A and B are shown apart, each in its own frame.
Chain A
Amino acid sequence: MRSPPIVLAVLALATASCATVPQNRRARLADPMMNLNDEPLDAYRRHKLYDTREGAAGGDGTAAGGGCGCE
């Protein structure tokens, strides 16, 4: 599996391209619409929907295979 080296390369590139945006220019980023993730309770119900109806759960920071007899 070649994923780990790819991930490290992506991380290195992302870090290298970092340009600091001053705090006082981040007002747009504070808007709730700009959240990268769903609100946690909404994320849970979406994760559960997809985890139990598609065969591609887990591996992205959330537990897979636990907490549901339908796995």
Chain B
Amino acid sequence: MAAAASNRARAGPSATLLALALGVGAGVAAPSPARADDAAPLSDERILGTTGSGLRLQSVTMRATAFDQYGHGYQSQAGPVLGPGSERATISEGQAEVIMKQGDRWTHRVWVPVDVVSAASPDAIDNGPRSADVVSSASHQVTGGTFDWTATYKVDRATDLSARNALHLEQPFRSWNTGLTATRSFADECTVLSAGVIGLLDWFDRFDVTGHRHGETSRSGTTGSVSLTQVLTPTTVANVNYGLTVLNGTLGNTWNSVPLASGDRGPELLPSQRVRHALVGRASQFLPWNGALRGYYRFYADDWGIVAHTVEGLLMQRLSAAFYVGALYRFHTQTGATFFTTLAPVDAPLQVADSKLAPLDSHTLGGRIVADFPVAGGVRALHFELGVERYYRTNDLQMNIVTWATGFRF
């Protein structure tokens, strides 16, 4: 022991720091030796070891999802002039998430989703030889990506503060959002109260319904929310969340069209503000046969006249220590925007034919299988998930979805 101490003294502080950095880099917090006969009182650091101030990898997760969509909507011009046009699209989506700890108080989450969408815009303006392509020929396959960074600071044992920044780039479209969230737990972490605010700014090219560009336009939004999570029993936990979003500016994509009574097509005419309210309740109940049931209800209302109710149930069953399976059903119903139409008078002050703003019901049916394998060594666990879903909307839209995730927990 004395020789080791002597060697450490000769190696100097730089060697000690290097050794510490290597230990941290490997994700291992080497415990400090604590001897019963040491005179100094035991501290948390002496018992658990110091974690240093470097970055330590906590998890890496990747998810790939494929969407295959069929359907028709009156905003699309890929069809008869006054009839609904095609909304056919395929979407490939990749996501990567890295979570790192820095010291004892900081946690960083870096997340990069990338979407590749076929026929995202050309269907909307594909109206014969007088149409220009909305962006360029590249719009036949639009690629969009986001860089999102959230830093969370642990103020004390019960309080966290998070700051989030994200930048989204898509060919004719840019978006930036930033947010702050405060979370505090009470009653020995039985109750968690959270409040946050998110601001966003979008700026994008303004196209008309024939695909010609007319400069740029923008919109902004602010979302405030408050959330309460409560442990109700040893097998039940519930959450309630209220959120308010206010949007201002150009609230459409500018190239969606509306069939007109004159026999032609005109642009969407939308209000320049939208105020949206949502109240969400969710609960999870552990089931005696080693399963779990999660319920979700959401009430939504906005000043465009849309009122929506959404319910969802997810039933899960553990098959072994590593595997569990789940079955999902979701139902959504909404009224339409007050100015939704499939044939607008020529002088209408507001008009929209976007199929998502119509009165509609939708159903989602899905299943998933999840595996978490504990492993030895630098990686603590491997996570795999396969999910399949079928989405069906009553106004002629359906979609098949396959998703796969792989994760490493350190």
Contact = CB atoms under 8 A, between A and B. Distances in A.
Interface of A: 1, 3-4, 6-7, 10-11, 14-15, 17-23, 25-29, 31-37, 39-42, 44-45, 48-50, 52-71
B111 A18 contact: no
Contact of A20 (B173, B190, B304): B190
Interface stretch (B11-19, B28-36, B151-159, B217-225): B217-225
Contacts of A69: 120-121, 142, 144, 170, 172-173, 204, 253
A28 B235 contact: yes
Given A10-B240, A41-B97, A32 B370 contact: yes
Given A23-B188, A59-B245, A67-B175, 17 more contacts: A11-B228, A23-B189, A36-B237, A36-B282, A45-B93, A49-B391, A49-B401, A55-B304, A56-B308, A59-B276, A62-B223, A63-B179, A63-B245, A65-B200, A65-B251, A66-B168, A69-B172
Nearest to B227: A61
A59 B146 contact: no
B388 interface: no
B284 A64 contact: no
A47 to B, nearest CB: 11
Nearest to A50: B332
Interface residues of B, number: 108
Contacts of A31: 286, 292, 318
B191 A54 contact: no
A13 to B, nearest CB: 10
Given A31-B292, A49-B391, A69-B173, A63 B223 contact: yes
Nearest to B352: A55
20 contacts: A15-B191, A18-B230, A20-B190, A22-B188, A23-B188, A34-B294, A41-B97, A44-B95, A45-B95, A54-B334, A55-B357, A57-B276, A58-B247, A60-B298, A61-B227, A65-B251, A66-B175, A67-B177, A69-B172, A71-B252
A11 B302 CA distance: 22
A64 B221 contact: yes
A58 B198 CA distance: 11
Interface stretch (B39-47, B48-56, B61-69, B100-108): B61-69
A31 B237 CA distance: 12
Interface string B361-405: 010000000101000000000000101000101000101010101
